[in-house]
Amino acid sequence: MSLWLAGLALLLVKIGLVLFVVLTGAAYLVLAERKLLARFQLRLGPNRAGPLGIWQPLADALKLLMKEDTVPAGADRPLFLAAPAMSAATAMLIFAVVPFGDSLTIAGRPVPLVVADVSVGLLFVLALSSIGVYGVVLGGWASNSSFSLLGAIRGGAQMISYELPLALSLAPVVMLAGSFSLVDIVSAQAGCPFIVKQPAAFLIFCVSALAESKRLPFDLPEAENELMAGYHTEYSGMRFGLYFVGEYVNMIALGCLVAVFFLGGWRGPLLPPFVWLMLKAALVPLVLIWVRATLPRLRFDQLMHSSWKVLTPLALANILVTGGLMAALG
Amino acid sequence: MVFTWLNVGILVFLVAGLLFGAGPLLGSLLFAPRMSGGDARMPYECGMTPHGSSWKQFGVNYYVYALLFLAFDVDVLYLFPVAAWYRDSQGWLPFVKIFLFLFILAVGVVYFWRKGVFSWPRRIMQ
Amino acid sequence: MQTSALVLFVIHALIIGVGGIMAVASRSLVRALVGLIMTLFGVSGMYLLLNAPFIALMQLLIYVGAVVILIFFAIMLTKAPAGGEEERPNQVRTYLLALMAGVLPTFVIGWVVLTDQPASINAPLETGLKALGQGLMEPYFLAFELISVVLLVAMSAAVILAFKRRQSR
């Protein structure tokens, strides 16, 4: 019984720490994005709330709290109310399997620095990203607004189309690591990170992940100029805030996944593992922000084509090339 | 039945997610103003009054993509355990087997491409 | 640990039950879909209890991630009219038949489990993914290749049907 309680306490502490780090990260990612976008456009960005605007995330949250939470007439009320939480929760669940470092020794017992070392962690991540579709689809559908519904349908089609190259690009990683556990994948990269052996898979994964995150140039589901924010047109106040947090948590999650699958995870010289993981994980969100400031939006047919005509065949070919090389080199 | 921390972890995480979702909403319930009357609850439609419900019919294209995805997804999931085992395999025979599997899939992609499935129609007919 | 497993079992069973009732009883098709998603989640939790995480996640990936989205697009395609014949209250006979269809498999499965218990019934073993992969590549190689043929046929048939309709107009 005491073992059971200790296990539960450990689990709760780990989850609490992870959620704290991730949510703080997401809050400051919003600030970083606003600052960087402003710089890209020769503006200053938020600089009033505290020095350099460091209290801006807090101010934003307070502002959202003070806004009215409306439900449009004719909407499917329970679904409309629940959908944003779905979007945020799936993004956060990804961190359950991300290893933050090697195991620590506390009171003579090794404590692995991962919430759950699942033997099928990679599939868990893929499953979550496919469940993430529902926050978009159900939220958009429940709003009873034409724009939201269009955004929902587009979002659904886009996310399932890019799910495929996302999964296929990870097959070579599994072939090299011989395991689905994220912990094993990181330890398989002790010699050299997989980005060296799998540059094609890395690129395919990054593009598909960008599309999964529904950000420019793939932000068709929420295209503000034609769909007026798409699936979250009707959301206001804190519920809109939840979608927003979900998007930014998702960006950090993608950063962590790219780091774990291709950049060697927490491995690195000198600095502690956790810092290395965070440094590597910060790369992807920064590139995403840069891309947002640079590229125009794709057209919907171009979006679907680039998944089915380019990325999927490329990913299939990449699996074969990897298999051939592995068989040839023994 | 087997008890795993994964199972509890997922449930606890789900509860945490729900609390995280519900907390701010509780806050907004306390702090946010509540108006009534007027057209505050009218769905957004560029200033016009929306015409009927928005739940309308959609083209078949989306459905076809979803169907293709379903089939490919099943394929990928069969490929995954094989990929995990591939490192322990010997010689070229497993490669040939995977090649056959992927070749049939690739034939599918080429066929749909030629058939025009991946070209979005200018006007979706019903 | 057995008690905690039992508690988890009850939680999952409740999720499955509530989801199932929601899927059958809702007026709105999309809400029924949400009920279906809940049920599938519960079933996947059951697979985790049976120490089959791969099957559990396959369940989520294929059913929740693909099949339900497909059903959603199908609902959007058909525009189910409110007040159609499905909305009429059912006869008692329909309910009885439905109940029988639900209860009968329980007896069959229960009977099988009671008469022919597998060795792993109390402590299910996890089949490693590598063992699964080896199984697909060596003894069940033909089945593995046939999967891709079957799926190719299914996809092509769906595409042909959808496109026939598009050309005939």
Helix (H) or strand (E) holding C70: helix C68-78
Which chains does C contact via 3+ CB–CB distances below 8 A? A, B
Torsion angle defined by CA atoms of residues C150, C153, C159 and C164, in that order, rounded to the nearest 10 degrees: -140
Which contacts qualify for B14-23: CB closer than 8 Å, 24 or more apart?
B14/A89, B14/A93, B16/A15, B16/A19, B16/A92, B17/A85, B17/A88, B17/A89, B17/A92, B17/A93, B18/A85, B18/A89, B20/A19, B20/A23, B20/A85, B20/A88, B20/A89, B20/A92, B21/A84, B21/A85, B21/A88, B21/A89, B21/A242, B22/A85
The three-class DSSP label of residue B47 is coil
> Which chain C residues are within 8 Å of B111, Cβ to Cβ?
156
Assess whether C121 and C148 both reside in one domain: no
Nearest to A11 among B8, B24, B118 (CB): B8
Q: How many CB atoms sit inside 10 A of residue A23's CB? A: 18
> Which chain C residues are within 8 Å of B58, Cβ to Cβ?
73, 76-77
The residues pairing with A106 across neighbouring beta strands, listed in sequence order, are A109
Assess whether C139 and C59 both reside in one domain: no
Assess whether C96 and C148 both reside in one domain: no
Assess whether C103 and C150 both reside in one domain: no
In this predicted structure, what is the pLDDT of residue C39?
92
Which chains does B contact via 3+ CB–CB distances below 8 A? A, C
- Would the CB atoms of B81 and C162 count as touching at under 8 Å? no
CATH number at residue C19: 1.20.120.1200
CA B78 – CA C55 distance, rounded (Å)? 11
- Would the CB atoms of A153 and C28 count as touching at under 8 Å? no
Name the amino acid, one letter, at A219. D
- Residue labelled with tokens 């419900």: B53
Measured in angstroms, the CA of A174 and the nearest CA of chain C are apart by 11
Indicate the pTM of the whole model: 0.84
Q: What percent of chain B has pLDDT over 90?
A: 0
Task: Decide if pLDDT at C109 tops 60.
Answer: yes
Helix (H) or strand (E) holding A155: helix A146-177
Q: Please, what sign has the CA dihedral across residues A161, A162, A168, A174?
A: negative
- Would the CB atoms of A65 and B24 count as touching at under 8 Å? yes
Give A226's contacts (C-beta < 8 A, 6+ positions apart): none
Rounded to an integer, the average pLDDT of C2-29 is 84
C-interface mutation test, from B6, B7, B13, most C Cβ less than 10 A away: B7
Assess whether C112 and C168 both reside in one domain: no
Assess whether C71 and C146 both reside in one domain: no
In this predicted structure, what is the pLDDT of residue C18?
92
Nearest to A141 among C30, C58, C64 (CB): C30
- Would the CB atoms of B83 and A304 count as touching at under 8 Å? no
Nearest to B43 among A123, A145, A157 (CB): A145
* Residue of A297 and B31 predicted with greater confidence: A297
Q: How many CB atoms sit inside 10 A of residue C44's CB? A: 24
CA A238 – CA C7 distance, rounded (Å)? 34
Rounded to an integer, the average pLDDT of B40-69 is 72
Helix (H) or strand (E) holding B13: helix B5-31
Name the amino acid, one letter, at B126. Q
List, for chain A, all residue ranges whose pLDDT scores fall below the cut of 70: 1, 103-111, 113, 330
- Would the CB atoms of A323 and B72 count as touching at under 8 Å? no
Name the amino acid, one letter, at A131. I
Q: Look up residue C97 and give its two tokens.
A: 């038949």
- Would the CB atoms of C70 and B82 count as touching at under 8 Å? no
Number of domains in chain C: 2
Give me the phi and psi of B99, to 5 degrees please. Answer: -60, -45
> Which chain C residues are within 8 Å of A141, Cβ to Cβ?
30, 72
- Would the CB atoms of C73 and A180 count as touching at under 8 Å? no
Residue of chain B whose alpha carbon sits nearest to that of C146: B101
- Would the CB atoms of B7 and C166 count as touching at under 8 Å? no
The three-class DSSP label of residue A142 is helix
* C127-139 pLDDT, tens digit each: 778 888 888 888 8
Helix (H) or strand (E) holding A110: strand A109-111
pLDDT category at B126 given cuts 50, 70, 90 is very low
Measured in angstroms, the CA of A253 and the nearest CA of chain B are apart by 15
How many Cα atoms are found within 13 Å in the side-chain-facing hemisphere of C63?
17
Distance of CA C115 to the CA centre of its chain: 26
Give A23's contacts (C-beta < 8 A, 6+ positions apart): A245, A249, B20
- Using CA atoms, how far residue B56 sits from A203, A239, B51, B63, in Å, is 38, 25, 11, 15
Is residue A134 within 8 angstroms of chain C, CB to CB?
Answer: yes
In this predicted structure, what is the pLDDT of residue A108?
64
Assess whether C10 and C63 both reside in one domain: yes
* Residue of B20 and A152 predicted with greater confidence: A152
Assess whether C23 and C101 both reside in one domain: yes
Assess whether C45 and C113 both reside in one domain: yes
**Domain of residue C156, residue span:** 128-169
Q: What percent of chain C has pLDDT over 70?
A: 89
Task: Decide if pLDDT at B125 tops 60.
Answer: no
The three-class DSSP label of residue A109 is strand
Assess whether C149 and C74 both reside in one domain: no
Assess whether C132 and C78 both reside in one domain: no
Give me the phi and psi of A93, to 5 degrees please. Answer: -65, -25
Contact between residue C32 and residue C22 where contact means Cβ atoms under 8 Å apart: yes
* C44-80 pLDDT, tens digit each: 888 888 888 888 888 888 888 888 888 888 887 776 5
- Would the CB atoms of C51 and B60 count as touching at under 8 Å? no
Q: Look up residue A108 and give its two tokens.
A: 């003579």
> Which chain B residues are within 8 Å of A179, Cβ to Cβ?
84
Task: Decide if pLDDT at C118 tops 50.
Answer: yes
Assess whether C75 and C153 both reside in one domain: no
